[in-house]
Amino acid sequence: MNSSPDAAHAPDRVDWAAYDAVLFDLDGVLTPTAEVHMRAWADMFDDFLSGHGGGDTSAYTERDYFDHVDGKPRYDGVRDFLASRGIDLPEGSPDDAPEADTVCGLGNRKNDAFNAVLERDGVAPFPGSVALLDHLRGLGTRLAVVSSSANAPAVLEAAGLADRFETVVDGRVASEQGLPGKPAPDTFLRAGEICGASPGRAVVVEDAVSGVRAGAAGGFGLVVGVDRGAGHDVLTDAGAHVVVPDLADLVPAAGSDGSPA
């Protein structure tokens, strides 16, 4: 058994061998699909707001994404954004057509837009994230993906990463098992359980404020924030122990810790 991890790490001194499992968010952490999600949300909300008569219908902004949508289950993101604008829509059901002006209808409309972009353009993983995955594989660390998106398996397949992870706890799994989404820690806790790692011996890697809060709430041994736009201080305030702009910054130099680089 490895020695107990210390949560207060400098970025260049993370002792990955001190952890049994690393639990990665997907969009914005492993792949640049967060940008696709951002565009899909903006297109959907701008179209909706332009034809809606009540509440604050000013243009949707990038700040709206980070404050209300980023990292959350799709319908939660719709619900929280509408609440921020004083707009009240029926909940509807997950079977609603994308054209329906309901919470679920808007969520389904956004999902269709995301899938269209993914099919058209494909996706390549962040090189720095692949470098860290390679390092962790050399250590024999157990790996999982924890994503609010129901599209996680398709994204992993498109990015050539599907065989890297022991389990994927995504939006569909959360719905089937009745797990509340981020910022609740339940999906991360479930992934850690599948990997046989207690929270204190597992790492959460997130770029979204809601995901970082989930890692902090779950009592995980290390919460890594990847700053793809949320902001270093924002992620730190949400509970990240370490914040880096790219996961390549957390790959030890060859021979620096006596383990594979």
Told to judge if 27 belongs to the known catalytic residues of this protein, a careful annotator would answer yes
Please pick, among 20, 25, 64, 227, the residue that the annotation labels catalytic: 25
Range in 4-18, 60-74, 139-153, 207-221 with the lowest mean pLDDT: 4-18
Tell me the average pLDDT of the chain. 90
58: its two tokens = 């000013």
Residue 171 has pLDDT above 50, yes or no: yes
Do 242 and 250 form a contact (C-beta atoms < 8 A)? yes
Residue 260 has pLDDT above 50, yes or no: no
The structural domains of the chain, ordered by start, are 11-32+125-250 (3.40.50.1000), 34-121 (no CATH)
Residue range 181-188: mean pLDDT, rounded: 96
What is the secondary structure of 90-158 as a DSSP string? ----TT--TTS-SHHHHHHHHHHHHHHHHHHH-----HHHHHHHHHHHHHT-EEEEE-S-TTHHHHHHH
Residue range 235-244: mean pLDDT, rounded: 97
Torsion of CA 3, 22, 11, 256, to 10 degrees: 60
pLDDT in tens, 128-150: 999 999 999 999 999 999 999 88
Torsion of CA 178, 156, 253, 236, to 10 degrees: -40
pLDDT at residue number 254: 57
pLDDT at residue number 13: 74
pLDDT at residue number 147: 96
Please pick, among 6, 20, 27, 249, the residue that the annotation labels catalytic: 27
pLDDT in tens, 85-131: 999 999 999 999 999 999 999 999 998 988 887 888 889 999 999 99
